[in-house]
A and B are shown apart, each in its own frame.
Chain A
Amino acid sequence: MSRWAAPESFAEFVRGRHGDLLRFAHVLCGDRYLAEDLVQDALERVGMAWARIERQDNPEGYVRKTITNRYLNQVRVMRRERLTDSVPEGLVLQSEQSEPPDDHLRRLLSELPRQQRAVIVLRFYLDYSEAQIAETLGCSAGTVKSNASRAMAKLRNALTPEVIS
């Protein structure tokens, strides 16, 4: 079997877009290393079928969809979490009172269920419509609405009007 070499169009795509994809994955999962794994995994999958995906005119959308679905479906396989008594180094626990408002909102986002967090990220980071979110997640628009509604309610209840404004 000959050694596989990346097609030029694929190499150009990876070079040009991997930064944005890393950021999207980071926003989605909230973990730098998991984000890198998700992007690497998605780009490898896309690279294996690049000729077909390139013909569909929106490779980046395909990669984002792959990242999202891998995050929702395979995250448990890729990174099995182990509960330990000790706190990981570098993590500083802060009380809600002393926490800056942006960090407080980020923490609340990280506590959302994955499906709800994905809906929020696709909506407010990528400005996707309900239909686009439903298509990306492979669910109905009603499911998107209910997930968004629950997520927003949790955030609203946890944040004071002052913090929101």
Chain B
Amino acid sequence: MSLDNTVDSPSVDSALDERLRDVLRDNGFELPGWDDPVGRVASGIRRRRRHRLVLASTVTCILAALLLAIPAVLWPGYWGGYWPGYWAGPTPGVDSPIAFPGDAEVPAPAHLARRSPRADAKPCTELAEQAWMEGSTVMLPNASSHRCTLRDGAAQTVLSVTNAGTGLREVFTSGSATPRGAWQSPATIDPGEPARLDITAGNGCGQRFEDFVLSVLGRSYELDLSTDCPPSLTGWYVEPPLLNAPLTVTMKAPTTVQRGQFFDYVVTVLSVPGTFKLRDCPVYLQRLGTRVAWRRLNCDRLKAFPAHTPVSFTMRAYVPPDQPPGSTKLSWMAVMSDGTVAIANLATDGVKVDVI
């Protein structure tokens, strides 16, 4: 059989086949056998097995290292903060609360991170049936199921009050004063979120004003307010909410505190999603009744809040002698270096204490 189908001369081709068989099978390619073929091959196999073992061990070590390192890189708190870099001995505040560092107060932080302004939405048409006051600020929620914008002109906001001196009703329109603090206007509000309007004291005090009724979008709201000055209204605005750091803060305080004395309470910070690195030691706001103070946490040796590891701080507060007896609220809020906040007992904004 010939493999070459293009042969012109079958006899020549057949002769070439035979020549090839002869040449390939003659003794010219004979090689002497090995002295100890089995020993030679077995030693090579043992070498290969050693190499294979070393390779497998190396690959296993690399994989194990990757399995440990990848979660630590992707989720820095995966190993509970005990990964090299965060490791600096036992985490302070885990076994016992970090001590109160002292009573020195610090300035309030210059920046608090807040939600960015909402883009304008459709005009509000459906507001809550009831408004409420927080100090001199009217809070009026969006009762619809969609985001809307409350503009001063479109809302037809009018405040009518009774001048007790003359007995006449007087009418004031919004937009004559500027809100205090952080605000965004016009008031674009999510469902359930309140728009705000401040009622401030205008010029010409000395007369009594009462029976405040605020009319918005054809609906009237009676306000529990009376002043000795003619009221002045800001426009509708929203106070963008503070942005929370991914920390859960709880606090335990005595239920009863005594006027004119210090008392200690414990704040516990828990970082659930991962280790929360501390670039700077946070400052915190402590509010007891009307007494407000900013201080800095005791961050001695504390570089981060490890994931899933509660870190406790001992706090100290002073009850002023002039604090009225009765129930009041103790609240606590830490501010991180990026301006985000961590509020203790966020749902209730603090704990109730009885002052005696």
Task: Please give the residue numbers on chain A whose beta carbons come within 8 Å of chain B beta carbons, in ascending order.
Answer: 1, 3-6, 11, 14-15, 18-19, 22-23, 26-27, 32, 35-36, 40, 43-44, 47-48, 102, 105-106, 109, 119-121, 123-125, 130, 144-145, 148-149, 152-153, 155-156, 159, 161, 164-165
The 3 closest A-B pairs by CB, nearest first: A148-B3, A152-B4, A44-B44
Residues of B within 8 A of A19 (CB): 31, 33
Contact of A124 among B13, B17, B29 (CB under 8 A): B17
Contact flag A14-B38 (CB < 8 Å), given A1-B49, A148-B3, A164-B12 = yes
Contact of A149 among B5, B23, B28, B38 (CB under 8 A): B5
Counting contact residues on chain B (CB < 8 A from A), the size range is: 35 or more
Would A18 and B16 count as touching, CB distance under 8 A? no
Would A40 and B41 count as touching, CB distance under 8 A? yes
22 CB-based A-B contacts, threshold 8 Å: A4-B42, A4-B49, A14-B38, A15-B37, A15-B38, A22-B33, A27-B29, A36-B31, A40-B40, A47-B44, A48-B48, A105-B19, A105-B23, A106-B28, A120-B24, A121-B24, A123-B3, A124-B24, A148-B3, A152-B16, A153-B4, A164-B19
B180 CB–A CB distance under 8 Å = no
CA distance A5 to B45 in the complex (A): 9
Would B25 and A4 count as touching, CB distance under 8 A? no
CA distance A123 to B34 in the complex (A): 27
B65 shortest CB reach to chain A, Å: 23
CA distance A121 to B23 in the complex (A): 11
In the complex, the chain B residue whose C-beta lies closest to that of A152 is B4
In the complex, the chain A residue whose C-beta lies closest to that of B17 is A124
Residues of B within 8 A of A22 (CB): 31, 33
Would B29 and A40 count as touching, CB distance under 8 A? no
B134 CB–A CB distance under 8 Å = no
In the complex, the chain B residue whose C-beta lies closest to that of A47 is B45
In the complex, the chain A residue whose C-beta lies closest to that of B26 is A102
B115 CB–A CB distance under 8 Å = no
Contact of B13 among A6, A105, A119, A152 (CB under 8 A): A152
Contact flag A44-B15 (CB < 8 Å), given A105-B20, A145-B5, A149-B6 = no
Residues of A within 8 A of B25 (CB): 125
Residues of B within 8 A of A47 (CB): 41-42, 44-45
B279 CB–A CB distance under 8 Å = no
A93 shortest CB reach to chain B, Å: 18
B322 CB–A CB distance under 8 Å = no
A43 shortest CB reach to chain B, Å: 5
Residues of A within 8 A of B46 (CB): 3-4
B62 CB–A CB distance under 8 Å = no
Task: Please give the residue numbers on chain B whose beta carbons come within 8 Å of chain A beta carbons, in ascending order.
Answer: 2-7, 12-13, 15-17, 19-26, 28-31, 33-34, 37-38, 40-42, 44-46, 48-49, 53
Residues of B within 8 A of A152 (CB): 2-4, 7, 13, 16
Contact flag A44-B24 (CB < 8 Å), given A23-B30, A130-B3, A148-B4 = no
Contact flag A102-B23 (CB < 8 Å), given A11-B38, A44-B48, A48-B49 = yes
Would A26 and B13 count as touching, CB distance under 8 A? no
Residues of B within 8 A of A130 (CB): 3
Would A26 and B53 count as touching, CB distance under 8 A? no
Residues of B within 8 A of A105 (CB): 19-20, 23
CA distance A90 to B3 in the complex (A): 36
A103 shortest CB reach to chain B, Å: 8
Residues of B within 8 A of A3 (CB): 46
In the complex, the chain B residue whose C-beta lies closest to that of A101 is B19
Would B45 and A48 count as touching, CB distance under 8 A? yes
Residues of A within 8 A of B22 (CB): 102
In the complex, the chain B residue whose C-beta lies closest to that of A130 is B3
CA distance A107 to B108 in the complex (A): 94
B322 shortest CB reach to chain A, Å: 83
B329 shortest CB reach to chain A, Å: 71
Would B41 and A44 count as touching, CB distance under 8 A? yes
B134 shortest CB reach to chain A, Å: 77
Would B45 and A35 count as touching, CB distance under 8 A? no
CA distance A26 to B26 in the complex (A): 12
In the complex, the chain B residue whose C-beta lies closest to that of A156 is B16
In the complex, the chain A residue whose C-beta lies closest to that of B6 is A149
